[in-house]
Amino acid sequence: MQIDILTIFPSFFDQFLRHGMVRVARRSGRLDVRISDLRAFAEDRHRTVDDRPYGGGPGMLLKPEPVFRAMDLLGLDPGKQPAAGTVPLLMCPQGQKMGQKDLEDFSGAERLVILCGRYEGYDERIVEAYPWKRVSLGDYVLSGGEVAAMALIEGTVRLLPGVLGDEESALRDSFGEWTGPEGLDHAHWTRPPQYRGRGVPEVLLSGDHGAIEKWRRENSGQQGPGHRDAVTGNSGNPASDGGSPDRNQDGVSQEEIPGE
């Protein structure tokens, strides 16, 4: 998969691209990320990318020229459909709230082109000119689209075939095949079996795989409305320790990934 990111803050992505599954995907050749610095497409010597809104009002807007010029270079023509397999994504609070199903769809694309807004948003001609899928991270306003783009990329990339060490782990995640689209993952424990007076449910130590699977099914969020509370520690489960801040994501510790 190729991902093009258009941003006025390319360095936001420096560390992001060097960690976790995004790094794994890049190093294995499954992901190619290219960043377009919108300031490089500005037309004046101050590299201006913003301007005041017509009609007055607070704040500035992302100017059309740098975006159109960057898109030209990426081969996306205004008013035309992009090449098959290319999905242009506009990060904005007005977009559709991103869900796991969207990430699954994105992971099937050959190329994502992601525009990160700033300021009060976009000159509307940017919005009109391309067949964007408008994506929102949630019903709140961030200062820019970069964090939303990172969330989208991180959630998408871990779904690319071969990126997760254990393919089953994505299937068993919340909203996955195992839990169902509304479902939530069950709680997890690791060693030691006792820590600061907190234990682990006996069944998980039993070695009885059938009983363990049954326990996990019963303790995952498949029970419909209210299941989020049931799964997230308001269940009164005495073994819950509130989670460990050191827990590795996706089953791969940073140490297992060779340095860049």
DSSP classification of residue 183: -
Which C-beta is closer to ligand SAM: that of 88 or that of 121? 121
CA 160 to chain centre: 13
Residues 6+ apart with CB under 8 A from 29: none
Q: How distant, in Å, are the alpha carbons of 11, 18, 49 from that of 45?
A: 21, 32, 11
Shortest-Cβ-distance residue relative to ligand SAM:
117
Pairwise CA distance, residues 26 & 255, whole Å? 17
To the query of whether residue 247 is one of the catalytic residues in this protein, the response is: no
Per-residue H/E/C for 43-56: CCCCCCCEECCCCC
173 is catalytic: yes
Min CB(119)–ligand SAM separation in Å: 6
- 93 belongs to the catalytic site: yes
**Cβ of residue 22: shortest distance to ligand SAM, in angstroms?**
19
Closer residue to ligand SAM (CB): 26 or 118: 118
What CA–CA distance (Å, rounded) separates 29 from 162? Answer: 11
Options 23, 111, 158, 216, the catalytic residue: 158
Smaller CB separation from ligand SAM, 122 or 178: 122
The 3-state DSSP class for residue 3 equals strand
Nearer to ligand SAM, 6 or 230 (CB): 6
Which residues sit at the interface with ligand SAM, rule CB under 6 A?
91-94, 116-118, 120-122, 136-138, 140-145, 148
Shortest reach from residue 94's CB to ligand SAM, in Å: 6
State yes or no: is 65 an active-site residue.
no
